[in-house]
Amino acid sequence: MAQEKDKKKINVIIVTPEEKIFEGQVDFIRVPAQSGGLGILPRHVPIIAQLKIGVVKLVNNGEPEYIGVCRGFFEFLNNKANILTELAIPTEEKDIEKTIEELKQKHDITQEITEETRKVVQAIAGLKSLRQ
């Protein structure tokens, strides 16, 4: 009977390079995939998706839990959901927008470009304009 009950749950693990953020069983999971939001119920078909900045919603026994995630990957296979992300921030429903903004600020790709890289890009652009 316990095995039958387990088939009605999804085993979820959410990890970052630094730590495990969440591990447990849920009834439903929604993830922010690059292709759009994915809602996953137990026994869903296997899927792999690239994540975008957004919020994972985990629902267990009617109780939602929210975790903001940054870029990463989602994998679902045999009622096991693995989320590998650069950064994860547990949040409350009322703070979802604030959490998304925080993640965008922390991982804005333009902030990752160093001053030296900008100089190289400008030099290349200058060379291209000379050729025309």
Instruction: Name the pLDDT band for 131 (thresholds 50, 70, 90).
Output: low
Beta bridge partners of 55: 68
**What's the per-residue H, E or C state across 52-93?**
CCEEEEEEECCEEEEEEECCEEEEEECCEEEEEECCEEEECH
Domain coordinates of the chain in residue numbers?
Answer: 2-131
Tokens encoding 72: 């990463």
* % the chain with pLDDT above 70: 82
pLDDT in tens, 73-88: 999 999 999 999 989 9
57 vs 120 pLDDT, higher one: 57
- 1 has pLDDT over 50: no
pLDDT in tens, 35-76: 999 999 999 999 999 999 999 999 999 999 999 998 899 999
- Phi-psi region at 35: left, alpha or beta (left = phi > 0; alpha = psi -120 to 50): alpha
Instruction: Name the pLDDT band for 127 (thresholds 50, 70, 90).
Output: confident
Domain 2-131 has CATH 2.60.15.10: yes
Q: How far apart are the first and last CA of the chain?
A: 74
DSSP 25: E
3-state secondary structure of 39: strand
107 vs 33 pLDDT, higher one: 33
